[in-house]
């Protein structure tokens, strides 16, 4: 598995923070993602939030839309 700084994704903590700020459980977030055609269950969301699962670009876009994540916050992760 390819990794950056020993993690399969960099946005897991940001997704968790925004999910909690939006008062979504993992199950509720999963249902919202399914409405966008993205099939991720609570276990997969936990693995993404724990930086243990690779995140596909369309999945990231779904998280950004649902959780209103600022693109600048994602780019700041590269610093």
Domains and CATH numbers, the chain: 12-70 (1.10.260)
Q: CA–CA separation, 74 vs 79, rounded Å?
A: 10
pLDDT tens-digit map of 39-77: 999 999 999 999 989 899 999 999 999 999 998 998 888
Q: In this predicted structure, what is the pLDDT of residue 10?
A: 84
Angle between helices 42-49 and 12-21 in degrees, nearest 10: 120
């Amino acid at each position: 598995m390819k990794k950056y700084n020993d993690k399969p994704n960099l946005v897991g903590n940001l997704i968790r923070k925004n999910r909690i700020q939006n008062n979504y459980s993992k199950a509720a977030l999963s249902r919202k993602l399914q409405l966008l055609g993205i099939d991720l269950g609570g276990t997969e969301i936990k693995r993404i939030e724990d930086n243990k699962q690779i995140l596909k670009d369309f999945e990231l876009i779904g998280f950004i839309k649902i959780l209103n994540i600022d693109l600048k916050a994602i780019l700041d992760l590269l610093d």
